[in-house]
Amino acid sequence: MRLSEMKEGQSATVVRVGGNGILRRRILEMGILKGAEVYVEKYAPLKDPLELIVKGYHVTLRVEEAAQIIVDNVK
């Protein structure tokens, strides 16, 4: 499942970070690494961007960026 498909209040484990170049590096630098637990805190009113909690930090991603991240074990 893609991170962008998750609903508010769900958590999951990152399986793979896709993309290439600067975008992928930026996502990895924010702590969204393979095996990291992510929690979808909330979506903006128009569903873009979304706010995540990763390793205790609040991170905001656009939906198109979140679509590059594959997650598993959705709770």
Give dist(CA 74, CA 28) in Å, integer.
Answer: 20
Contacts of 42 (CB under 8 A, 6+ apart): 8, 50, 51
Per-residue model confidence (pLDDT) at position 20: 86
Per-residue model confidence (pLDDT) at position 39: 97
What is the CATH architecture assignment of 3-72?
A: Roll (2.30)
Per-residue model confidence (pLDDT) at position 60: 95
Per-residue model confidence (pLDDT) at position 19: 86
* Digit-coded pLDDT (tens) for 16-63: 999 888 999 999 999 999 999 999 999 999 989 999 999 999 999 999
Distance of alpha carbon 17 from its chain centroid, rounded?
A: 9
Give domain limits for the chain.
3-72
Q: For residues 56-70, b (16+ Cβ closer than 10 Å) or e, as one string?
A: eeebebebebbebbe
